[in-house]
Amino acid sequence: MQANVANANGRSVIRLQGRFDFNAHREFREAIDAALADTASHEVVVDLAEVDYLDSSALGMLLMLRDKAKGLGRSVSLTNCRGAVKQVLDIANFGKLFAIG
């Protein structure tokens, strides 16, 4: 998986590409650190448009991001969720934990 972070206008966008699973833990953690390092940011958006697969460990990593961001007073949302990725998020009831678009 690849993760790119862009910080602009009070928002940090983490764009993920590829398989989001346990093997992506290091890349995702580095992306989280980069996103949360921007003190001007008040929102973190995870763009899942290029993610073709995610598993339960990915769900755990998203929850870790949510907890870290919440501790810093920031919100987290998930965007461009579709197909199998959206289905997994729906089954896990992530719509109750995140704003999903």
Domain spans of the chain, in order of start: 2-91
Look up residue 61 and give its two tokens: 């990593």
Q: At what angle do helices 25-37 and 56-71 cross, to 10 degrees?
A: 20
d(CA 6, CA 19): 20
Supply the pLDDT for residue 20.
97
Mean pLDDT on 6-33? 96
Q: List the one residue out of 74, 68, 80, 75 whose CA is nearest residue 97.
A: 75
- The 10s digit of each residue's pLDDT in 34-83 is 999 999 999 999 999 999 999 999 999 999 999 999 999 999 999 999 99
> Could you give phi then psi for residue 61, rounded to 5 degrees?
-65, -35
Asked if residue 101 has pLDDT above 90, the reply is: no
Mean pLDDT on 73-99? 96
| CATH no. for 2-91 | 3.30.750.24
